[in-house]
Structure 1
Amino acid sequence: MVKQRKILLTVTVLYTLLVLYFMFFAFGRGETSDNISRYTFIFMPENFISLPSPADLLHPSLMSMVGFGNTIAFIPFGILIPWLYRVSFVRFITLFFIAILVLETIQAFTFLGSFDINDALQNSIGAALGFGAYKLGFRYRSLGRNLVATAISGMVLFIALWGLGAAVDKIITKVEGPFVAITEWTDNSGHLSTGDKPDSIQINGQKIPLRYNLYGAEGGDSRTFTYKSEGQTIFSFHYGNPEPTDYSGDIRATLDGREILNYSGEVQRTNPDLFPGLSEIPLEPGDELKITIEGDMKAWDVGYTRMQYIWN
């Protein structure tokens, strides 16, 4: 037992040094620290677990693998420490989380990284998985059977946590709802328009099918339409000068008085590849969007999708 304990202690110390190396010195941290002039502290967690989805694994990137590394690399601590010392889960995870917060703080103050609460949570989740795997696996007299059972338990717990995290993340993340076409729109003169509804229009020799509506300025005048968002939405519309045209039209859009879109018929004449154009504008509750249409310019399939939770 004494010899086994010494081996375990040696393995724990060496693995700790390896993790500390990756936390403070790997990935060129020492070189990049010379170019950092301010501390970085991230206190708000991004989501429940921050593990990449199965779709991310089909096209892996460095960032998508960070969540896996931050979790998996700390699973051994949840196995080695309770193997060495009799400790309750609450005491273990509390002390472990505090230690990780201290290391994250040192990273930030030494410019060898940043304080990121997401990293601390992922590290602690990994340690908790290891602790659970140890408790489930070490139930036999044979060391070999204990290690195999612990490894299997760890994989099962990790997959279960991954699935739970993906489900919770999907539940708490807003997605685009169905498209809602604007069938009635009031302009700056108080004139209510339902828009024209032709089957298609011709732009740059291309037949453009229309699905919902078509808005423009009658008689080549100017009309300004206003939309005030009542929620988190994505407002969208297509635009262009339909044929036949002398390219005299233009379209402008402002968001709370700030111009975000300005295209003229002359742009269409000189850059036909840009038309028909598509504008997608994210809006927050209370944002006021104004779209001014002049001359032959038209806007069609005008509407919005509301950001909503999956259960809505």
Structure 2
Amino acid sequence: MVKQRKILLTATIVYTIIVLYFMFFAFGRGEASEQISSYTFIFMPENFISLPSPADLLHPNLMSMVAFGNTIAFIPFGILIPWLYRVSFVRFIILFFIAILVLETIQALTFLGSFDINDALQNSIGAALGFGAYKLGFRYRSLGRNLVATAISGMVLFIALWGLGAAVDKLTTKVEGPFVAITEWTDNSGNSSTGDKPDSIQINGQKIPLRYNLYGAEGGDSRTFTYKSEGQTIFSFDYGCPEPTDYSGSISVTRDDREIMSNSGELQRTHPDLFPSLFKIPLEPGDELKITIKGDMKAWDVGYTRMQYFWN
């Protein structure tokens, strides 16, 4: 029994050293710290139990591996520590979480990483999974059966967490709703326009079908249309100079009186492969866009999609 305890203690110390190495020195942290001049502290948790989907694992990247590592790498602590010391779950997880917060703080202060509350929560969830696996698995007299039962319990709990994370991510993530076409717009002169709706237009010899609307300026004049977002939306339209044209037109977009896009018919003349072009921008509630169209330039299929939860 004493020998087994020594082996467990040695394994715990060695594993702790390995984890500390990855937390402070792996992934080029030492070199990167020389280029960091400010501390990074992230205190707001965000989808901290979300793990990469099975599709993401087919094309793994650094972010997906980190998300898995933050949880899986700390499961052994939930098994080894209660195996070494008789400790309740509440006491274990509180002390473990405090220890992780201290390590996260050291990472930030030494420029060897950042303080990220999401990492601390993911690490603690991993340890909690290990603790649960230990409690479920260590119910037999045989050490071998205990280890097998603990491994199976750990996998089952991890898969359950994976499913819970996917469900929470699904419930808390907004997606694009159906497209809503703007069928009536008021321009800078106060005139209301419902927009034209030909079946198609031709640009650079290419026939472009129109789905919803077509807006422009008449007789080479200038018209400015205003759109104000009433929620979290994604505003979009296509634009270009339809044939026949002398490429004299232009289009510009301002967001809260700051220009964010400007294009001209001359660009279409010199770079026809860029047209027709798509303009698309996410907007927050109250954001105001002003779209100014001049000359031959046209904008069509103007509208927005509202960001909403899947149950909406």
The answer to whether 1:69 aligns with 2:69 is yes
Return the offset for 1:191.
1.1
Deviations 1:118-154 (A, max 9, x none): 1111110100000000011011111000000000000
In structure 1, the partner of 2:261 is 261
* Percent of residue pairs bearing the same amino acid type: 89
What's 1:242 paired with? 242
User: How many correspondences in the alignment?
Assistant: 312
Aligned residue number for residue 134 of structure 1: 134
Aligned twin of 2:113: 113
What's the offset of the Cα at 1:9?
1.0
2:27 corresponds in structure 1 to: 27
Q: Which residue of 2 aligns with 1:302?
A: 302
Aligned to 2:89: 89
SS in 2 for 1:282: strand
Question: What are the equivalent positions in structure 2 for 1:1-312 lying under 5 Å apart?
Answer: 1-312=1-312
| Alignment partners' CA distance in 1, 2:281 and 2:36 | 35
Query: Aligned partners of 2:246 and 2:222: how far apart in 1?
Result: 16
Distance in 1 between the 2:28 and 2:298 partners? 54
Distance 2:34 2:228 in 1: 48
RMSD of aligned Cα (Å): 1.0
CA contact (8 A) 2:50 2:162 kept: no
Instruction: Name the aligned partner's letter for residue 219 of structure 2.
Output: G
What is the deviation of 1:27? Answer: 2.1
Question: 1:233 and 1:200 mapped to 2: Cα distance?
Answer: 27
Are the aligned partners of 1:50 and 1:122 in contact in 2 as well (CA < 8 Å)? no
> SS of the counterpart of 2:180?
strand
Deviation at 1:273, TM superposition (A): 0.9
Deviation at 1:181, TM superposition (A): 0.3
1:195 Cα offset (Å): 0.7
Distance across 2 between alignment mates of 1:198 and 1:11: 74
Which whole-Å CA distance do the structure 1 matches of 2:181 and 2:202 have between them?
21
Helix, strand or coil at the partner of 2:212 = coil
Aligned-partner Cα distance in 2 for 1:155–1:240: 55
Q: CA deviation at 1:46?
A: 2.2
Asked if structure 1 preserves the Cα contact closer than 8 Å seen for 2:236 and 2:280, the reply is yes
Give the deviation of 1:167 after TM superposition: 0.7
Contact 2:239 2:298 (8 Å CA) reproduced: yes
The answer to whether the 8 A contact 1:199-1:210 is kept is: yes
TM-score scaled to structure 2, two decimals? Answer: 0.98
Q: How far does residue 177 in structure 1 lie from its aligned partner after superposition?
A: 0.6
In the alignment, the residues of structure 2 paired with residue 218 and residue 53 of structure 1 have an alpha-carbon distance, to the nearest angstrom, of 51
Name the SS for the 1:52 alignment partner.
coil
**For the residues of structure 1 that align with 2:292 and 2:9, how far apart are their CA atoms?**
73
- Post-superposition CA distance 1:12-67 (Å, at most 9, x none): 11111111111112222222222222211111122141421222112110111101
The letter of the residue matching 1:12 is T
Q: Tell me the CA shift for residue 281 of structure 1.
A: 1.5
Q: Please state how far the C-alpha of 1:226 moved relative to its aligned partner.
A: 0.6
Q: Which runs of no fewer than 5 residues in structure 1 stay unpaired?
A: none
Q: Distance in 2 between matches of 1:268 and 1:274?
A: 7
Deviations 1:217-268 (A, max 9, x none): 1222111111111001110000011001111111111111011111111111
Structure 2 unaligned regions, length at least 5: none
Partner SS, residue 92 of structure 1: helix
